[in-house]
Chains A and B, each alone.
Chain A
Amino acid sequence: MSRYIIRRLLQLIPVLIGVSILVFVGMHIIPGDAAILLLGDKGTPEALARLQHELGLDQPIYIQYFRFVADALRGDFGISLRTRQPAWTEVWSALPMTLELSLSAMIFASLLGIPIGVLAATKQYSLFDSISMVGVLISVSMPIFWTGLILMMIFGGTLHWFPIGGILDEGISLHRITGVHLLDALIQGDSRAFWSASRHLFLPTIALGSLSMATLARMSRSAMLEILRKDYVRTARAKGLSERVVLVRHTFRNALIPVITVGGLQLGILLSGAVLTETVFALPGMGRLAITSLLARDYAVVQAVVMISAFFIVIINLLVDLLYAYLDPRIHYA
């Protein structure tokens, strides 16, 4: 197993190199280099040349690339055009919000999606099965940004059950420790802030999580059905085990393996969805940072967001692989 882990870690290197090349090339093709953008209209040719020299933009392209990688490894992605702060600082302060949103969406999706799928499989062709599969189809087909708007209109604007944007009510301040609001509120024992943040997170979580919920429901249903047809399930029933034991110990545990794989891969999809959800609900996360930076041509920040999310996805995929190997004893990795 440890040899497998090392081999998989080594396989990450070419992928991360590829990611860095793609981002670097992409950012270089965009017309107008960082120096021009930083100076704006007021730059004289001399000032521009000086800044280009300072930023290393007069160097050959491959040297620029190596500098970019060396800087990125130290967490230096350049200066944000809008705030004149290091791009890394900007991303670092927005990252916890996105993680908080994605994780709560993931928890919502698993807690609802897996039981629905399992129940639908055990009662195949029943009314519950049909209704839940139609619900799944609709959830899979709803655009996240529209779901968000509709939830906001109904439960925020009309019924006033939930706030329509932001992460904390006005007048509530929360000292930042981890940046994850719910966690910070718990650590500080601030129940008002905790309540406020949970209420603000509720609708975005549903909007973002419903797609993954549907995917997980579909996946666990088909995984359960597949295993329910196996010979060993028939054997387990034939030898008189109770239906509960057959379902939980023989079927569910085995069905969980593909479900976990799909669930892990959902995290990457959630990071994309977070861009839209954060925009709809005005949450100060990484996705909204990426889009505002892109529209403001603040490419240093975009670059940092992209690199960091790609890094996250690669690591998550690795963890999913390892978990898969751990859960399925039939798989032997040498």
Chain B
Amino acid sequence: MSNILSNTPVPAEGSVNQVEFVRQRPSLISRFAHNRSVVIGLTIVIALILTAIFAPLVSPYNPIKQSFRIQLQPPSADHLFGTDEFGRDIFSRVLYGTRWALFVGMLADSIALALGVVLGLMAGYYGGRLDATIGWLTDVMLAFPYLLLAMIVVAVLGPGITNAMIAIGVVYVPQYIRLVRGTVLSIREMEYVEAARCIGMRDSRVIFRHILPNCVAPIIVMATLVIGWAIVETAGLSFLGLGAQPPIPEWGAMLSSGRNYMLSAWWIATFPGLAILVVVIGFNVLGDGLRDELDPYLTKR
């Protein structure tokens, strides 16, 4: 064993190759800068983050202050997006809604990512019975229509924005498990993993030093896309009355109350929906662009 190792200077040769390889390619950042999808998506996402941070400074009115003298006013110079049935300024509410959307999207995504990556790594690396059990759990969760699965979780935990967020996080766990497990399976058989095992590295070190870093690219792509989807799904739960409760300025809840005034006051339901659309387009475009750049299995079309 030691003989083989001394005869084949694996680490040295590997690192030399790697350096040359990297030099030949343009850096990741310059590749990102030349990808239209990444640039457009990132611009939208950064704009949203700035809106969320500066919502209190930018929004002209208090998002939850009711004022019955100015109920259901159409869009005007004073109220860009009009006012709702309680006389609240919809523009301000949409701006504040960005905070909720990003918060909910990122947290739901983090829950799914944390659980999914751990389970996926274990299933892929150890295989055998553990893999079979995790695979079974994945199949079972994927057998539910995702919205009904989320509804059960909300039923168990009780309605509310936090629980809706957890529910959507749970729904996306199997997607991450499948992704990570598949990636790990392809990496596990690589020679450098075998080499690491041969020199007696502990499993945890092999996983964190050699396997996980190589799963990062597909995980980043997935995580970007899931934020957008999680925002829509959570808004959907709020729309059904299971998520954000009034007076929280959350887009799904705003749509739900705007539905009652749909025929007389179109602006209440229109603008929060447009906001969701913009957010989701941002994350979708960014995710697609990142996939083009990061996924080594996809050649550019």
Contacts and interface: CB of A to CB of B under 8 A. Distances in A.
A160 B266 CA distance: 15
Nearest to A18: B140
A29 B156 contact: yes
B164 to A, nearest CB: 13
A15 B242 contact: no
Nearest to B143: A310
Nearest to B150: A272
Which of B152, B236, B277 is packed against the most chain A CB atoms within 10 Å? B152
Contact of A153 (B137, B154, B240, B262): B262
Contacts, number: 136
Contact of A26 (B147, B155, B240, B241): B155
Contacts of A23: 152
Interface of B is mostly: helix
A309 B273 CA distance: 28
Interface in B130-153: 136-137, 139-148, 151-153
Interface in B223-280: 228, 232, 235-236, 239-242, 252, 255, 258-259, 262-263, 266, 269-270, 273, 276-277, 280
Interface residues of A, number: 50
B10 to A, nearest CB: 36
Contacts of A30: 155-156
A145 interface: yes
Contact of A309 (B144, B263, B277): B144
A4 interface: no
Interface residues of B, number: 43
Interface stretch (A172-180, A201-209, A291-299): A291-299
Interface in A252-287: 268-269, 271-273, 275-276, 279-280
A215 to B, nearest CB: 12
A interface: dominant SS: helix
A146 interface: yes
Contacts of B262: 149, 152-153, 157
B179 interface: no
A141 B277 contact: yes
Q: Which 10 A-B pairs have the closest CB atoms?
A: A18-B140, A146-B273, A272-B147, A141-B280, A271-B145, A272-B145, A157-B263, A141-B281, A310-B143, A26-B152
